[in-house]
Structure 1
């Protein structure tokens, strides 16, 4: 018997988050740029940060499904000031939860993504913003 999904994937709440991405325009001349691509669905995110040490004024260019767009908006709202190391800890929480762990990631508004846990094809899209930010900040570590 197939497991039944726990909620509606494309809820009005999830879909409304995509609109928030307009608040985070990409800055291609920013000191830190990071990229992430999903191997499962091909979604991509480019993230800009006005600092190469912490996420600062994040900008996003997102080519993803509504789940990936929602994850990016959720990420951008609360990522300001975080280091690559802190982001890695949060990414590990997200990965653990997606793979069946009990604890919901400690990230504001992450509850909007709960129904996506039942859709493994969307898991990498959820992780993309954290991966892109870590990529941006890790590239900046060697500079200077």
Structure 2
């Protein structure tokens, strides 16, 4: 089975197209970015908070492979209501899962769609981008 049929499933490609629902606008206050040194994928992210410390609105500009784009869509769909602490915890769980320190999927909705990418270390950096950029953006 090729990498294309293993990773780039219709579900992954569908997720990548969902990024259009999260445009990066100047009206979002908290801005961050991340880049993967391995593959060159990059993301710009911005948030508006709900008056407290939790994410209310999100915008993104993603330059990544379909796995990175799908990861960004998965992140965006579940980001609202999260704060810095929850995002940091999720990032740690995802890093542990990708490295093999954790066998079960991290507690973030939708990650099962890109679970096959765990076997492709060259894609790990792209998967982590949304969480890293979000932590860069939040106070």
CA deviation profile, 1:91-122 (whole Å, cap 9, x unmatched): 00100000012121111111011110011000
Question: 2:93 & 2:85 partners in 1: Cα distance?
Answer: 13
Task: Calculate the TM-score normalised by the size of structure 2.
Answer: 0.91
**Which runs of 5 or more residues in structure 2 are unaligned?**
none
1:39 is aligned to: 37
2:92 is aligned to: 92
1:28 is aligned to: 26
Aligned residues of 2:28 and 2:59 also touching (Cα < 8 A): no
Aligned residues of 1:78 and 1:107 also touching (Cα < 8 A): yes
Question: 2:45 & 2:12 partners in 1: Cα distance?
Answer: 21
3-state secondary structure, aligned to 1:50: strand
1:120 is aligned to: 121
3-state secondary structure, aligned to 2:123: helix
- Larger % of strand: which? 2
Task: Calculate the TM-score normalised by the size of structure 1.
Answer: 0.88
**Which runs of 5 or more residues in structure 1 are unaligned?**
none
3-state secondary structure, aligned to 2:56: coil
What RMSD in Å do the two structures reach over aligned CA positions?
A: 1.7
**Corresponding residue pairs, total:** 134
